[in-house]
Structure 1
Amino acid sequence: MKNIYFFGECMIELRSIEESLMRQSFAGDVYNAAVYLKRCFPAINSSIVTSVGQDNLSDKMIGVFAEEEIDTEFVFKHDTKIPGMYLVETDDVGERSFTYWRSDAAARYTMELFNDDAIAKLKCADMFFFSGISLAIIKSELRDSFWQMVWQLKDAGVQIVFDPNYRARLWASVDETKLLYDLALQVSDIVLPGIEDFNSIYGHTSFDHVKTFCKPYNIKELVIKDGPNGVLVIYDGEETFIDILPVENVVDTNSAGDSFNGAYLGSRLTGRSITDAVQLAAKAAGTVIQYPGAIIPKEAFDSIRQ
């Protein structure tokens, strides 16, 4: 069985469904990707690496992980911290805005709870995934231990995967972001940048800008995403461009990139070609944005399940 580990955070999601009424669920970029990978490829072991608390909502969160068949071996329980929470609101065209309560969330302390035995088990993985959000929430004093762990995994033959997924409010400055992203790009085998994210950080506005910027790094598989404008994949120096059919009925763009990542990585883990992987990933993302919330009903994925 193939194994992929998603390092980061799952949060308590509050979503307004009508005036004075909200729905509570659980979501977070790496968790969303883990869920959609598992839904598309049930035979792959999809695991989340994170920390939660000892509280009732943390227990419910772990229960939802189990319902989604997400492996929880590396879900640590912090003695004093609890999960972060956010409120998501969408406008008339499906664009979302967020309000967060996560400044001291349990997931920020995950590296504090690691030990050599845990790292040894992770060395048996096929892939290890982290994102820009994963990096941003790690307590600054724990970042060195994170990089040490990631390099150990890479040296053991684990494919390191990075999605830059940029949220400006999580960073002290753009300079801090650039410093951490440089370290991430140095260690990663697969990188899945969105042009929108790179525009915010570096001022890049095109496939060529991102491709040129990433060229000095030893990235084996570069997957540059530009929403409905297509995807450019550079694998071992060979370029493949795939057109994306725009979705007309956009309800909520939340988790579009996460579902793309999950379906794409699952496809590659199971030996599918780059074109087939992008097409399935685009189909997954196109399905997700037609429903409200980060995690959509399971039955919506019946036609995508592999």
Structure 2
Amino acid sequence: MNGFAAIGECMIELSGANGDQWRMGFAGDTLNTTWYVRALADPDLAVDYVTAFGDDPFSVRQKAFLRDNGINTAHSPTIVGARPGLYAITLTGAERSFTYWRNDAAARQLADDADALARSLEGRRIIYFSGITMGILSPKSRQTVLNAVSNARRHGSLIVFDANYRPRLWENAETAKQVLSNAFHVSDIALPTFPDENALFGDVTPADTAARLASYGVKEIVVKDGTEPALVVSGGVSTNVQAAKANAIDTTGAGDSFNGGYIAARLADLDPVAAAKRAHKVAARVVEFHGALAPMGEARKAFDA
């Protein structure tokens, strides 16, 4: 088994507002994680982003952006007449809020071709997806994704999942609970964020989150909690891993970069606690930049420090 693949949505990102001036880039939770896996993993590792593209000029630029940064797109389809979703970041201090335009985004059709999705996941050492991946899809497509990752898992891939709960993406909380729980059930590594799990499942502490996920059969769990310690549970042992200090100016992508750092460290065969320490360093550096994607070289320096 070799290579890494993530499934999700690449969006147009507008950030760094200064009056009426905005900077355009590309981002999205699983894409952000893929960016940091590419930055931190062995250069020879195949890294793919599995999504769906439109055929408009912005989609062409998306593909070029990924290609130019060493990220392949496997068998991701191009949807005639579709276009990317878009979001804008506004900041209050270092804390961010988002406004989205994504109802007709091409990525909502990423699982329409089940055979193409399955081919995109073949032979991967690690496959990553998130609750946002699932939230943008139709019920039928959600099941297609679960079937695809379950099949890949049976053939030896490790499945990594972060619920990344965003209420506005879901029909209702009960649907979100069911779909996200089903996703955790087919995962080997869980990278949830405690405030999300508290909001949806009512977990009182990170330990409650870890215990619930362990009851689903997840063997390796890292519960992120912002600047609080991450709770790492593996092999029946629980360890709190302190966050790294940062001069944060924009927390966009903090959790995604943690996930990327963690996955890259596990691909390098570091143990879960050591991987969480590396991941905290990466996240601390990323929040010192505007937007979700910090320079790959800066992320690498933090990872290696």
Check whether TM > 0.5: yes
- Paired residue for 1:178? 177
| Structure 2: 5+ residue stretches without partners | none
Helix, strand or coil: the match of 2:215? coil
Q: 1:118 to 1:9 in 2, by over 3 A?
A: closer
- Paired residue for 2:148? 149
Q: 1:197 to 1:160 in 2, by over 3 A?
A: same
Note if contact 1:40-1:304 (Cα within 8 Å) is conserved in structure 2.
no
Note if contact 2:189-2:220 (Cα within 8 Å) is conserved in structure 1.
yes
- Paired residue for 1:282? 280
Note if contact 1:196-1:226 (Cα within 8 Å) is conserved in structure 2.
yes
Provide Cα deviations, 1:216-240, integer angstroms capped at 9, x if missing partner.
Answer: 1111111111122111111132222
- Paired residue for 1:210? 209
Helix, strand or coil: the match of 1:48? strand
Q: 1:225 to 1:302 in 2, by over 3 A?
A: closer
Note if contact 1:53-1:82 (Cα within 8 Å) is conserved in structure 2.
yes
- Paired residue for 2:74? 73
- Paired residue for 1:225? 224
**Deviates further, 34-43 or 140-149:** 140-149
Q: Distance in 2 between matches of 1:52 and 1:275?
A: 37
Helix, strand or coil: the match of 1:287? helix
Q: 1:72 to 1:83 in 2, by over 3 A?
A: same
Letter in 1 for 2:218: I
How much does 1:118 deviate?
5.1
Q: Distance in 2 between matches of 1:144 and 1:274?
A: 30
Note if contact 1:2-1:269 (Cα within 8 Å) is conserved in structure 2.
no
TM-score, normalised by the number of residues in structure 2: 0.94
Matches within 5 A, 1:7-46: 7-41=7-41, 42-46=43-47
Q: Is 2:165 the partner of 1:166?
A: yes
How much does 1:144 deviate?
2.3
Q: Distance in 1 between matches of 2:212 and 2:117?
A: 34
Q: Is 2:84 the partner of 1:83?
A: yes
- Paired residue for 2:262? 264
Letter in 1 for 2:214: K
Q: 1:26 to 1:121 in 2, by over 3 A?
A: closer
Note if contact 1:195-1:205 (Cα within 8 Å) is conserved in structure 2.
no
- Paired residue for 2:295? 297
Letter in 2 for 1:267: A
- Paired residue for 2:198? 199
Helix, strand or coil: the match of 1:165? coil
Q: Aligned pair count?
A: 303
Note if contact 2:259-2:279 (Cα within 8 Å) is conserved in structure 1.
yes
Q: 1:33 to 1:121 in 2, by over 3 A?
A: closer
How much does 1:298 deviate?
3.3
Note if contact 1:32-1:295 (Cα within 8 Å) is conserved in structure 2.
yes
- Paired residue for 1:138? 137
Letter in 2 for 1:108: R
Matches within 5 A, 1:81-120: 81-92=82-93, 94-115=94-115, 119-120=118-119
**Deviates further, 292-301 or 178-187:** 292-301
How much does 1:165 deviate?
0.6
Q: Distance in 1 between matches of 2:300 and 2:235?
A: 33
Q: Distance in 1 between matches of 2:198 and 2:150?
A: 28
How much does 1:245 deviate?
3.0
**Deviates further, 155-164 or 230-239:** 230-239
- Paired residue for 1:55? 56
Q: Distance in 1 between matches of 2:44 and 2:275?
A: 16
How much does 1:302 deviate?
4.6
How much does 1:120 deviate?
4.3
Note if contact 1:44-1:266 (Cα within 8 Å) is conserved in structure 2.
no
**Deviates further, 33-42 or 140-149:** 140-149
Structure 1's consecutive aligned runs of 4 or more residues displaced over 3 angstroms after TM superposition are none
Q: Distance in 2 between matches of 1:58 and 1:213?
A: 39
| Structure 1: 5+ residue stretches without partners | none
Helix, strand or coil: the match of 1:31? helix
Provide Cα deviations, 1:268-302, integer angstroms capped at 9, x if missing partner.
Answer: 01111222211111011000101110112334235
Note if contact 1:231-1:243 (Cα within 8 Å) is conserved in structure 2.
yes
TM-score, normalised by the number of residues in structure 1: 0.94
How much does 1:89 deviate?
0.7
How much does 1:164 deviate?
0.8
Letter in 2 for 1:33: T
How much does 1:73 deviate?
2.0
